[in-house]
Amino acid sequence: MAVSKRSVDGAVPFVRRQDEGARLNMFGGLTFIKATGEETGGAYGLIEQRANAGVMTPLHVHHAEDELWFVIDGQLTIHVDGETVEVGPGDLAFGPRGVPHAFRVDEDESRYLVVRNAGGESFFEAVGDPAADLRLPDPHPTEEQLERLDAVLETYELELLGPPPFDE
């Protein structure tokens, strides 16, 4: 794509193809940074995640960021503000900042987008590990990822509230 002009906010048009973008293994899933806050002129960050059934987050709250999930393939169970819903292909769920939430991947090879406030995508870079290929990692976070998570909780105004709120 030829770029001839910057927008007034500094954003520049770009195309990022499937399987492109910084690639990370993050908490048992394969994560792609599809668009950064810097690239979108401060509008948002866009993450693509792929994971197998069983990957889940603890109950947590973002005090400074909203989070939106859009399912492309597979199924997630999302728990937001005490309510739990299943979301599948074409479904969207939103968790506003300050509201406790968690999610679980319910089907193997699920694929979903995560939209966060600009800069929120750097959380994934701070905690994840570079992924050498497109294989899905072990479905559990590594000790190193958990240590890096603990080190950046305050930076990202993220509070862990407890274990995942899902019946097993």
pLDDT for 84 equals 97
| Angstrom distance (rounded) from CA 97 to CA 56 | 19
Split at pLDDT 50, 70, 90, the class of 12 is confident
pLDDT for 168 equals 62
Q: What is the mean pLDDT of residues 2-18?
A: 73
- CA 64-84-31 angle, 5° bins: 55
Please tell me the CATH superfamily of domain 22-161, with its number: Jelly Rolls (2.60.120.10)
The domains of the chain are located at 22-161
Q: What is the pLDDT of residues 54-84, one digit of tens each?
A: 999 999 999 999 999 999 999 999 999 999 9
Contacts of 42 (CB under 8 A, 6+ apart): 9, 10, 118
> Whole-number mean pLDDT of the chain?
93
pLDDT at residue 27 tops 50: yes
pLDDT at residue 4 tops 50: no
Q: What does pTM read for this prediction? A: 0.91
